[in-house]
Amino acid sequence: VSNAPLATDAPRNIVSPFAAPATGSDFAARLRVNSEYIVIPLFALLIAAALFALFLLAIGKSPVDFVAYVWRGGFGTAFSLQNSLQRSAPLILTALAVAVPARIGLIMIGGEGALVLGGFAAAALAIPLVSGHAPVTLTLILMAVSSMIVGGLWVGVSGLLRYARGVNETISSLLLTYIGIAIMNFFVEGSLRDVSNPNKPSTMPIGEAYMVGKIPGTQVHWGFAYGVILCVALYVLMTRTTFGFAARVTGGNLRAALAQGLPVGRLIVACSAIAGACAGLAGFFEVTAIQGRANASLAAGYGFTGILVSFLARHNPLVIPPVAILLGGLVASGGLIQRRMDLPDATVLVLQGLIFVVLLTSETLYGRFAVFRPTGGRDRT
């Protein structure tokens, strides 16, 4: 059921239970083992980049130009770097929406739906509050909470269905994404449409006064900071608390968890709800820091890129921010690439898909290299 890294370590220990303490310090051994989780994904990125370079050559474009434009558009200047950080904010939060359920052995891909509905909930709640001139801070807090509740419910349902009815969570979460987008469209084009805006069906703008500001001294909105804080908090929750331990046991071995009397159902629903709340918060920031209203632009694909971010980070919350910045830069440079290299805007999608496929293929490499064994490969069986 699960592809969490936890379960994959088990067979090695069963084969040679006495091999571990043979040489070197505990720390050196751990470093050796863990470096595998860094080297192999980086190797996969390299292969994907090489394949993409071949693809560009095949259609007559220069890979060198491509790299140069990604650098300029994503990281090279202070402006582009801040743009990338800004775009990485929703990616961090939607990646968390994949990473937390992954720890309990679920592949949830409903981040896009939770983001859209979370953003919509915030914008809808803002309509009465803004017209009633409610205090800004209170309004924003209420909006954020409602986003998280709606997002949490949306993905939590997938978790509940998984536990209570055995419904495959990957399919149900993606179906709920389509339903969520349809619900938003229903209201945005219907009863909640701002009729004074003839161009694009949207809700009423929340107004400049109620927008979330930038982190002082930067052009990056607060969503980025909250995303990073949440990453640390969820890392602590999943690795340093009883809750996280119970969740990881459930993800590693469901039967063992049941035999131990762990509240498996509650753990699954809780992890799913946390995931949805993160993605819902991403929607809140998209509405209050970027768009200013809810419309179809919310479904910009951040939820799907977030899946890739989480897999690249091996579902480790602490690794998510750097990976999200990397992919945020890639997304941010898309416009420049499109203009300067005359490539379609889907170029970034192709590269992302390629990275994802190669990355998952690289899963097969784990445990094959003696270099990463704690005892230098003597226990190879």
Partner 1 sequence: MNEPAVLTVLIAMLGGAIRVSTPFMFVSLGECLTEKSGRVNLGLEGTLVLGAMVAYAASYHTGNPWIGVLAAGVAGSVLGAMHGSICGLPRVNDVAVGIAMMLFGVGVAFFFGKPYIQPQAPRLGSIPLGFWSDSASLKSALQVNPLFFIGIALALAIAWALRNTRWGLVVRTVGDSAASARAIGISVNFVRLMTTTIGGFLAGVGGAFLSLSYPGSWNQGLSSGQGLMAVALVIFSRWDPLRCIAAALLFGAAGAIGPSLQSIGITQGYYFFNAAPYILTLGIMIATSSAKHSARDMPGELSIAK
Buried-state track 123-139, b at ≥16 Cβ within 10 A, e below 16: bbbbbebbeeeeeeeeb
Is residue 109 a contact residue for partner 1 (CB under 8 A)?
A: yes
Tell me how many residues contact partner 1 (CB under 8 A). 50
The least distance separating partner 1 from the CB of residue 26, rounded to whole angstroms, comes to 26
Residue number with CB closer to partner 1 (318 or 350)? 350
Residue of 76, 354, 376, 379 interacting with partner 1 (CB under 8 A): 354
Part of the chain binding partner 1 (CB under 8 A), chosen from 29-37, 167-175, 207-215, 322-330: 167-175
Residue of 26, 42, 189, 377 interacting with partner 1 (CB under 8 A): 189
Is residue 186 a contact residue for partner 1 (CB under 8 A)?
A: yes
Part of the chain binding partner 1 (CB under 8 A), chosen from 27-35, 229-237, 268-276, 364-372: 364-372
Residues 278-307 that bind partner 1 (CB under 8 A): 304, 307
The least distance separating partner 1 from the CB of residue 373, rounded to whole angstroms, comes to 16
Is residue 1 a contact residue for partner 1 (CB under 8 A)?
A: yes
d(CA 93, CA 116): 13
The least distance separating partner 1 from the CB of residue 100, rounded to whole angstroms, comes to 16
Taking phi over 0 as left and psi of -120 to 50 as alpha, with beta for the rest, 21 belongs to alpha
Is residue 311 a contact residue for partner 1 (CB under 8 A)?
A: yes
Binding site for partner 1 (CB under 8 A): 1, 3, 8, 107, 109, 161, 163-168, 170-172, 174-176, 178-179, 182-183, 185-186, 189-190, 304, 307-308, 311, 343-347, 349-354, 356-357, 359-361, 363-364, 366-367
